[in-house]
Amino acid sequence: MRAPRFVAILVAIDLALGLVYLAYFLIGRPYRTLAELVDLDAEANLPTWYATVLWFSVAMILWVFARRRVTRSRARSWFLLVLPALFLLFSLDEMIEIHERVGLLSDILLPHGTREGTSFARTGLYSVIIGIPVVIAFVGLIAAVRPYLGRYPAGFAKLAGGFGLFMLAAGGLDLLSNFVELGSLASTLQVLVEEVTEMLAATLILWGAYELISGDSPLIDGMVASDAAWR
């Protein structure tokens, strides 16, 4: 199945944000204000806003999917509501830095209560404290709602694959930042690969969510028709 045009546009934006970040580093970051605006490793800027919108879009589409299937008589269907809630939490995290705050709190578990001088000097333990429970919870959630997603194998595969890719970047690639010098080319490349991979993962999940509802939502049916006409 060919990717819808909006997916191609989002992938182009994902890659463009990464290239702008790399290019700006290579020319020496001459303007601090602009550097902060495009810095993939900063908060409250253009990439953060974009990621927030991506995750919020995923949450809203999955809400549409869930509300059409949740019934009081089937307790298992209630788990469908957890899917949009999870991705809404991801969107909120981009804005209010939940995982960074938990990471700071988790420093108490490190020797002497500080990450300084440890192998987790930059990230702390949040990849372990948050990452592992989130993966376990998501696997359990997917198992619970599998009967409702099984009719849409392509959408299900993108949803699960995208989540796996996101956790690899957010939980695995992020740990590499502890082993590179801050401000170096290696550090910039680490941030570039991690953040662009996270954005691509969010785009893949959004595509999967789109496919989940494209067969029975009048709104999405209209988008499909419009996309076909555009081509």
Q: Domain residue spans in the chain?
A: 5-230
CB 192 within 8 A of CB 18: yes
- Give the lowest-confidence range in 64-68, 82-86, 115-119, 221-225: 221-225
CB atoms within 10 A of CB 201: 22
pLDDT in tens, 166-194: 999 988 898 899 899 988 999 999 999 99
Residue 215: the pLDDT is 61
Looking at residues 67-95, what average pLDDT do you find?
93
Q: Which of 164, 183, 184, 160 is nearest to 173 (CA)?
A: 164
Six-digit token string for 139: 């696997």
Residue 226, pLDDT above cutoff 50: no
Residue 216: the pLDDT is 56
| 74 vs 98, residue with greater confidence | 74
Average pLDDT, the chain: 87
Q: Phi and psi dihedrals of 2, rounded to 5?
A: -70, 145
Residue 91: the pLDDT is 96
Distance (Å, whole) CA 181 – CA 8: 34
CB 48 within 8 A of CB 31: no
Residue 208: the pLDDT is 96
